Amino acid sequence: MTQTCGFVAIVGRPNVGKSTLMNRILGQKVSITSRRPQTTRHQVMGIKTEDDAQFIYVDTPGIHIQTRDRNKAINRFMNQAASQALRDVDCVVFIVDRTRWSDEDQVVLERLEHVKAPVILAVNKVDRLQDKRALLPWLDSVGARRDFAAIVPVSAKHGTNVPELEAEVAKHLSEGPHHFPDDQITDKSQRFLAAELVREKIMRQLGDELPYQMTVEIEEFRDEGKVVHISALILVERAGQKKILIGENGERIKTIGREARLEMERLLDAKVMLNLWVKVKRGWSDNERALKSLGYHLD
């Protein structure tokens, strides 16, 4: 049989379930998730190979309107990363949240005006709709906004209609050889995934208390076979943020470390010795040179 392969950009405003959808499709966690907007900061590639078809999904940061408080270098980087992912793809999956249509959804739609690839609209979180009867009229109205290749109501969390969405994506793959080995799941290194897991646990613990001026850098990643030694540096911008992160008697940082370590052990299938450090680095999130040194650069 002829092999098919294609790049599929997953786009949408912040917090609509892009990472949850990709993890559901892959059957394992590649992108971190939390209830906080803008959890995803990088393009993260998820690769799924089934028989002769290879789907290369690109999870992207949420495209957002840059206001005064969201106009730092890191916000600009995230919007650029999302826009870059739209180049040269075979298909786009545009995710929206139920029957809501916000100004940021409109911004994403406008970004897609010049995209030549077919766009599939995935209406997510339909399991949480109070009145299911409102869905069909809304699908008709949103369908008038663009000539979508398909409109598929889904629940990324529970998997509802996700196979149907994948079947629609499969129609737009191109004939050609696979770009990655059949057993490869992502283009990201274990080192990158370890840093992301620490950041996920921080955001889940402190999403309401700690602003987005926080990042994680892996300073040591030493694989000794049965044991992996990891040292992670958590950067914040103010001393008060450091205090919140560490918690009383260090309890909060211990909880974050324990949760991250357990998930790393599942990911790496090895015992993990994890050390966390917290350091204040003022202004890193609005300093392009600092961002590049911390791994925030476009592929």
Pick the closest to residue 61 from 101, 90, 25, 31 (CA basis). 31
Please tell me whether 124 is known to bind a ligand.
yes
18 marked ligand binding residue: yes
17 annotated ligand binder: yes
Those residues with Cβ within 8 angstroms of residue 148's Cβ, 6 or more apart along the chain or in another chain: 94, 119, 120, 121
Q: Which residues pair with 231 in a beta bridge?
A: 220, 275
The 3-class secondary structure across 100-154, one letter per residue, is CCCHHHHHHHHHHHHCCCCEEEEEECHHHCCCHHHHHHHHHHHHCCCCCCEEEEC
Is 61 annotated for ligand binding?
A: yes
Cα separation, 138 vs 151, in Å, equals 11
Residue 16 annotated as binding?
yes
Q: Is residue 15 part of an annotated ligand binding site?
A: yes
Distance in angstroms between the alpha carbons of the first and the last residue of the chain: 32
Annotated binding-site residue? 269: no
Decide: helix, strand or coil at residue 231: strand
Structure tokens belonging to residue 145? 């906004």
Confirm or deny that 12 is annotated as ligand binding: yes
> Is 13 within any annotated ligand binding site?
yes
Annotated ligand binding at 287? The verdict is no
On whether 59 is known to bind a ligand per the annotation, the reply is yes
The rounded distance, in Å, linking the Cα atoms of 194 and 276 is 12
125 marked as binding residue = yes
Which H helix or E strand runs over 255? helix 251-268
Structure tokens at 299: 């592929």
Residues that constitute the known binding site for GTP: 12-19, 59-63, 124-127
Residue ranges of the binding site: 12-19, 59-63, 124-127
